[in-house]
Chain A
Amino acid sequence: MPMAQLLEDVLQALNAGLLVGALYGLMCVGLGLIFGVMRVINFAQGDFMMCGMYAAFYLFTALGVQAAFGPYGGPYIAAILAGPPLFLFAWAVHRLLLSRVTGMRVTALEGEGHYAQLLLTLGIALILQNGGLFVLGSVPVSIRTPLSSSAFEIGPLLEDGYLTIFVNKARAIAALVSVAVAIGLLLFINRTRLGKTLRAAADNPQAAIYMGIDVERAHRVAFALGVGITAIAGGLLASSYPFTPYVGLEYVIVMYAGVVLGGMGSIGGAFWGGMVIGLIQQLSTLVLPTQLQNTAIFVVFLLIVLLRPQGFFGRSVERT
């Protein structure tokens, strides 16, 4: 029954793409928030995600989350709890380091301080990677849960046992949590006073200052929140993916591609950008060799940048 087989392959790829894409989407949202508000290209975002993965891992194994919530709920509680410590860590990083090369004080500099920002975030990335190797070691770890090797089985939808779709439980729950966190962030940005100050600081920092908004504080909140959200995404990934201190390198390119695809400055766009990356990555294997799945991402990425440089949801003009 080759037709049913083909249909099963397509649905399975679609399912994998959606589940992986939702997680990529949340990673991209964190980076998109930082870029959207601060206009800072944060090369250390993947490494902050790595810190989130380790935070979730130690919360789960050593700090009692597994004992309290068990191997089913524990991984997701640990992932969410990884957000606040990384929020505080990022707050401190901004306060002590990043604030010196961002914000209003560098607008008059050549390239609006981007060169210093690139160097600083790259330096932070290297420190986190190598410091992580020194402190945490090179042994790959992951949050173990029975959910990562079990699935919700849908089907068989046809006779003779054909057309069964396996939806991985760990990935499905991670995807749901990702969507919930992304929606929560959007509500926060659109409905709260603090969220509005972030938008004001993003749209026109000068005008925001005139309106009495503390732009530097808004940047600090955006940076810490962006890192915290990516840390939660990392915590969610930690149950299906063994990681070492170098794991961030594997994801930072995906994050940037997602943010650019979605449209720089758009938080919702960043989520959909990540989702599209996940879908391309998985669906491309239906027609291309698996070795080329990441190549396919960048071919589509280049096409979109060529045809729609502002991304799916980006603004086509420079901000005022």
Chain B
Amino acid sequence: MTHNIITTRRRLIKGALAGAAVIATPAVLRAQGRRDLSMLTWAGHADPDVIGAFEEAHNVRIRAKEYVGGDQMLAQMAQSPAGTYDVILSDAEYVVQLQQAGFIEPLTPEDYPFDDFFPEFQNFRGHWFDGQPYAVFLRFGFLGLSHNRAAMSEAEARSYRTMWGPQHEGRIGHFDWHLPNLGSLSLLNGNASPFDLDEAHWAKLTETMMSLRPQVRGFYDYGGMLSALRSGEVSAIPGIGDWITGVLARDGADVTTTIPEEGGLQWTESLSIGARSENQDLARTFIQYMLSPEGQVKTATLKAYPAMIPTRAGWARLNDELPGEAQRQNMVLNGPNALDEIRAGRIQLRELPVQQSLETWNDAWTRYKNA
């Protein structure tokens, strides 16, 4: 009995001493064991709100290099020695290019919760090669017609055609990137696969685009779109979505995104591990964290731009913790939700052009801007 008390007391003292030692250890000492994880990513993903808890738990510092656009991301990869980046967040359509250039490592399917994914995201296009995944689907969103409600009603926004209306002359804005713009107009032209166009359909598409030019107010970057849509400087911007209007709506602006009857596009962001990364274990742990319910809710509510998430557990957690946000992003569990839009065939994946080169599409866009 006494013996027992003594051992427990000893244990208690020992434990207390050990605990005190850990607490008393200067931060410097703990920092010595800290590892660095480098990440090539779109802006906003290395926000302390998102990665702070992970950094703390794993004693790691995430060093993010931010890029704007897939071309810049590929250029960054091409110009850096292999192993420079441990984690790469890229748009799904660029994963194929990353894989073919040998910039990313194959992943082990068992490491990631693919079973928890909604079926349409499990075997995602362009992510699996010979039965092995090279990227893990992290988040997605829809692109349609984003509009300022005071200038364009939801009823009007039901067709991309409305942008040609005389009341919107000089009031249409553009996100300064060819892919989503041309993709939306391709949907308007009735192309079932908006990025797979033969010569005739491609010519028709550039013609459609050119006819919109007199309506255009300007070409904007992320910040420019936020202020132009909020102020009503432009009444609508095609080919963008909740990643812009969601940010504005959070601040109480009267803007929204409507998916027109001609359909909408889906953007997707995925995580990969950089080829010859020296921190592959840590990179894997990080990707696992981002796919855990906690990480999924964080990425869904990212300050820079919100997004929908592919995991069932993530949806459950979001509905539990932030029912308002789940409602706003159309991710409610019982009742119609965003998945119905995909299942109804209204949403096409944003892709790289199939029959033309990226350069051809780029040139068409530059020509359009300079017209």
A, B in one complex: no
A binding-site residues for B, Cβ under 8 Å: none
